[in-house]
Amino acid sequence: MEEASLHVIHLDQDDPKKCTARKMHANGLVRLHENVSGSPRRGYLLDPQSTTILGPEDRELISMGGSIVVLDCSWKRIGESLEEIAGRTRLEGRILPALLAANPVSWGRLGRLSSVEALGATLAILGYSEQASKILGAFQFGEQFLDLNKEPLQAYASAMSREEIAEIQSDFFEIEKSDE
């Protein structure tokens, strides 16, 4: 299986020493975009405010060359950051199913993933587990993220639909089931 195309829209809002996006870029693992206009035109934007959960239905576009894009910004400014890029990209928003963060800033917090954790989780769910291990392997907490979320990631990757992923996440975590 070829590797998925990974991109970061970087808004330069976080401490550069803790920025996983810049480290991934320095290691040649992602393409970094300082503004939205340079970002890919086809693919998915990982968006924690999206109502569409990432699922197996999304594998085809990625396997055909679509990109996985993460918005690297401060969690404190996520709403305004998403507004800033809204309408300036054709990427479709996808929210990740529930997972626990392993990064030092948000360790153990549900859904508060760093950029590398979000990309690694997306890759694992869409069947790119080797690439997920590769990008997460560049970080001290990367293997811990995979260990901490091993069972849910395996279950999400085996799911046959978004609806099934929504059911699975509520089995692993205390989350209300939604219509999506």
pLDDT (tens digit, 9 = 90+) per residue, 130-174?
999 999 999 999 999 999 999 999 999 999 999 999 999 999 997
Enclosing domain of residue 142? 5-172
For residue 96, being part of any structural domain is answered with yes
In a domain, 180, yes or no: no
Tokens of 163: 């609806």
Q: pLDDT at position 180, please?
A: 43
| Dihedral-angle region of residue 39 (phi above 0 means left; psi in -120 to 50 means alpha; beta otherwise) | beta
**Is 82 inside a domain boundary?**
yes
User: What is the three-class DSSP state of 88?
Assistant: coil
Count of structural domains, the chain = 1
In a domain, 179, yes or no: no
pLDDT of residue 22: 86
Q: Which residues contact 163 (CB under 8 A, 6 or more apart)?
A: 180
Integer Cα distance of 123 and 153 in angstroms: 10
pLDDT lower than 50: segments of the chain: 178-180
